[in-house]
Chains A and B, each alone.
Chain A
Amino acid sequence: MDLELSPDQKELQAAIQRIAAPFAAAPAGDSSHWLDGMPLYEELDSAGFLRATAMEEYGPLGGVLLLETASGLPWSVGTGGAALVAPLATGEDLPGPVAIAFDGRGDVVRHLPVARTLLVVGDDEVRALDLAGAQVTPLKTIFADPFGSISQHEMMKGRVLANVRPADVLKWWSVAVAVEIGGAADAALARTVEYVKIRRQFGKPIGGYQAIQHRLAECQVLVSATRMLARRAAVTGDATAAALAASYAEAAAGRVTYDTQQFHGASGLTREIELHFFTYRLRSLQGELAGIGASSLRAADMRWPRRSEGGEARAEKRRVA
C-alpha cells in the first residue's frame, strides 16, 4: 500500500505540466466553443508522453497523469484513447488520437474529427477503424471538445481486433472518463474558488458566505474522491473498481457543473470566461458511457452477480402488486 506518486511518477507529472503550461489559459478575447489542442497533442506525442503507460516505472498511471492534466486545460487535447484505453485494452500501438464509440452509436463521437483511429465497441468484438479517408461529419456543438458522426456502414469497415474483449475496452474507457471528469472538475472548482474570493456582494467576497463555502467544500470532496477512485481503478486494473469510479465521477460531474456555474453568476453562462470549457466538457463526459445508471449497473452486476434472468421481472411484479 502506497498511495503517493513515486518520484518517477511525480517527475513525469511535472514534465507534462511544463509542456502543457502554455495551454493553461484560453487566448485573450477568444470566444470559441472549443479550442483545438492538436499542437499540444503532437508535442506530447513526439516527446513520447503518449506512451508513458507502456513504461514500467509509470504503468497505467502514466496515461492517467497525462489525462488528468490534459482534461484540466481549456484546450481540447484528446489523449485518453491513445494514452490509456487503446494500449491497455488492445495491447496495440494504434495511431492516435484514438476516438471510441459504441457499435451502433456513431452519431455523436467525441474527438472523432481530429482522431486517426476509431475503436468500435460491439457486443462481441472490438474493431479498429483507420479514419484516413473515412467519412466523418463534424458536429457543431458547445461541448468544449470536437464531436463528429460516422455511419454504421463506415464503422463496420474497421478491422476486428483478435483477442480484444469489449469488456476490457469498456473498463479502460470507464477509467478514462473518470480521470477526465476528475481533471475537468478540479479545473472548474479551482477557477470558482478564485472567483468567489474576488467577487464582492453585500460588501464582502461571496466566498465569505457559508452557504457558498459548504457547497464548494462538498465539491472538493467529490473532486478528491473522483481522482482517488479513478487512480485506484487504473493502478489495479480492476473492472468493478473502474465501473464504480465512472459511476462516482458521473454523479460528481453534474453536481460540480451546477455549483461552479451557479457561483459564477450569469458570467458562468457565457463564453467570456474559461469556465464553460470545463462545465460543458463535464456535461458531455457525464453521459458518454450512457450515464450513471449504466455505469452503476455494470458495477453492480460484477459486484453482486445475478442469480437468474427473472429478478427484474419479479421485482417489477412485486412493485405493481
Chain B
Amino acid sequence: MPISLHNVSDTAKGYNDPAYWELHDMDFRWTDEQVAFRQRLRDILAAALPADWGEKSRYDTSSSYVSQFSRTFCPMLAREGLLIPHWPVELGGGGMDPFHHWILGEEMFYFGEPRSYQYMNVNWVGPAILQYGTEAQKREHIGRIASGEYIWCQGFSEPSAGSDLAALTTRAERRGDGYVINGSKIWTSGASLADYCFMLARTGGPGTHGISVFLLPTRMPGIDIRVVPSFMGQHSFHEVFFNDVFVPDEMLLGEQDKGWSIVRSVLHNERIGQPRYVLSMRVLDHAMNLLIERGEDSNLARSRAAQARAGLDSARWLAMGVIDRRAKKEPVDTSTNIARYALVTADRLVADFLCDFLHDDVVADIDPLISVGFRRTGSTGLAAGSAEIQLNLISKHHLLLPAVA
C-alpha cells in the first residue's frame, strides 16, 4: 500500500512543544500509574528496611539475616498486596501486568532482594504449581507462597549435570505409593534456608523424557544438606544428598517422566527473572560518587564508568523488551537469551571498573555495595543457564546456524 507523507507541515507540532514527545506510540516511559506503583514500593521499603540494611544484609540474598528478614517482610508484602501482584485476581493476586512484576523486581533487587529466595516462589515456583499441580498441591503450596511463609530452593544441578541438565542421574524409583530418591544435587542456592525443594529426578530412561519434578520438604529423613563455602554469598551454594528418601505420589508435580516441559517453562521465566542490573547500576553510581568525593574521578575513570553504564542500560532495555513481549502474550523467543547475555557482559564491565578504580575498597571489603558489585559478577554468567548456553541458543534459534557436529 503506497504511503503519502505530503503536507506534513500541517500536522507537525513544534519540536519544543512537550506534546510532540507524548504523541508517538513506541514509548520508553512509564505510565503515571506505573510510576505511582514504583513510588509506593519505595515508600514501603523505606519504612520496612532498617537504616543499617546495607551493613546487616551485605546485599546478600543468601545470608541468614536476609532470609530471616524475608519471613516477616514477605508476609507484610502479602498483606499490602505486593507479594504476588502479577498473579491473576482469582488466585489471590493483583492481576497486574508483567511490567508491574518487573518494577517490583527492580525495586527489590536494588536492596539486594529482601525477599531472599522467596522471589523464586512468586516468579516461577508458584506459577509452575498453578499450571501443573493437582488441586491438593495447589491447596498445600499456593496459599503459603502467596502469604510469604515458605522459602523454596531449586534442586536442579548435579555434579555431572550442569549446563547439560538432562544428564541428571538422581533417581526416583517407584516403590508402593511413591518413590525412593537416591542421588545428590549441587550448587543449590539457599537449600539450608529453604522449607521446600522444587527438584528433578530421573524416573525413566536417559535423556529429557525420563525426568520428573518433585515438590518435597527439605527436612525429610534421608536428606542431608551441606553448605559449599563460596565467594558469592553465605548460603549461595549447597550440596544436597538424598539417601533412600521416600516421597509419596502426592509430591510428584505433573506426570511422571514429563518433567522436562515443566523445566523448560521454568527456565524461560528464570533467565529474565531477576533484574540484577539494578544493583549493578546502584553500585556504579556509588563508586562514582566515592571517586568524585575523593577527587579521583579522572577522565579515564569517567569514560570507563559510562561504558559500564551503557552496558547496564543495554541489559535493562533488552530485558524490558522481553517483558514487553510477555505483556503482549507473545511466545518466548531468543530475545530472552540475548538480554541475558547482555547482562553478563555488563556485569563484567562493572567488576572490571571496580577492580581498576576502587582497588583498595574492593580488597579491604568494607563497603557492602562495592563488595557486592564485585562479588556478584562472578555468578552472572552461570546462574539461570551459563553464558555459553545462551550463545548456543542464539546461534541455533536466532541466527539459524548449522548444528555443531
Residues of A within 8 A of B (CB): 1-6, 8-9, 11-12, 15, 47-49, 51-52, 54-61, 87-88, 91, 193, 196-197, 204-205, 207-210, 213-214, 216-218, 220-221, 224-225, 228-229, 231-232, 235-237, 241, 243-245, 247-248, 251, 292-293, 295-297, 299-301, 303-304, 306-308, 310-312, 314-316, 318-319
Contact = CB atoms under 8 A, between A and B. Distances in A.
Interface string B1-12: 111111011011
Interface stretch (B58-66, B175-183, B373-381, B390-398): B390-398
A228 B318 contact: yes
B30 A1 contact: yes
Most-contacted residue by chain A among B291, B320, B404 (CB, 10 A):
B404
Contacts of B338: 220-221, 224-225
Interface string B384-405: 0000101110110011111111
B307 A296 contact: yes
B401 A207 contact: yes
Contact of A297 (B12, B24, B303, B400): B303
Contacts of B402: 197, 204-205, 207-208
A314 B298 CA distance: 8
A208 B304 contact: no
B206 interface: no
Given A1-B320, A57-B24, 14 more contacts: A3-B27, A5-B26, A48-B6, A48-B8, A208-B401, A209-B404, A229-B313, A229-B317, A247-B310, A295-B306, A296-B303, A303-B288, A311-B292, A315-B291
Contacts of A60: 24
A121 B14 CA distance: 22
Contacts, number: 244
B231 interface: no
B160 to A, nearest CB: 21
23 contacts: A1-B31, A4-B26, A6-B26, A8-B25, A9-B24, A48-B5, A48-B6, A54-B8, A59-B24, A204-B405, A210-B395, A214-B388, A217-B392, A220-B394, A220-B398, A221-B338, A224-B318, A228-B321, A232-B28, A241-B313, A248-B313, A300-B303, A311-B298
Given A1-B324, A56-B24, A299-B309, A304 B297 contact: yes
B365 interface: no
A295 B307 CA distance: 9
Interface in B290-348: 291-299, 301-307, 309-311, 313-314, 317-318, 320-321, 324, 328, 335, 338, 341-342, 345
A316 B297 CA distance: 10
Contacts of B131: none
Chain B, interface size category, equals 35 or more
B303 A3 contact: no
Contacts of A87: 15
A319 to B, nearest CB: 8
Contacts of B296: 311, 314-315, 318
Interface in B15-36: 15-16, 20-21, 23-31, 34
Contacts of B13: 56
Contacts of A214: 388, 391-392, 395
A140 B264 CA distance: 55
A299 B3 contact: no
A231 to B, nearest CB: 7
Nearest to A59: B24
Contact of B314 (A229, A236, A308): A229
Interface of B: 1-6, 8-9, 11-16, 20-21, 23-31, 34, 99, 285, 288-289, 291-299, 301-307, 309-311, 313-314, 317-318, 320-321, 324, 328, 335, 338, 341-342, 345, 388, 390-392, 394-395, 398-405
B302 A301 contact: yes
Given A221-B342, A225-B318, A3 B295 contact: no
A316 B298 contact: yes
Given A3-B320, A216-B399, A248-B313, A56 B391 contact: no
A51 B401 contact: no
A59 B11 contact: no
Contacts of B395: 210, 213-214, 216-217
Contacts of B15: 87-88, 91
Contacts of A235: 24, 26-28
Contacts of B12: 51, 54-56
Given A56-B13, A300-B302, A315-B296, A213 B320 contact: no
Give me the 6 closest cross-chain CB pairs, A-B, nearest first.
A48-B5, A6-B25, A59-B24, A225-B314, A300-B302, A315-B298
A189 to B, nearest CB: 8
Nearest to A301: B302
Contact of A213 (B1, B291, B313, B404): B404
Contacts of A303: 288, 305-306, 309
Contacts of B302: 296-297, 300-301, 304
Nearest to A15: B3
Given A2-B324, A51-B5, A221-B394, A231 B26 contact: yes
Contact of A218 (B11, B335, B341): B341
A320 B340 CA distance: 39
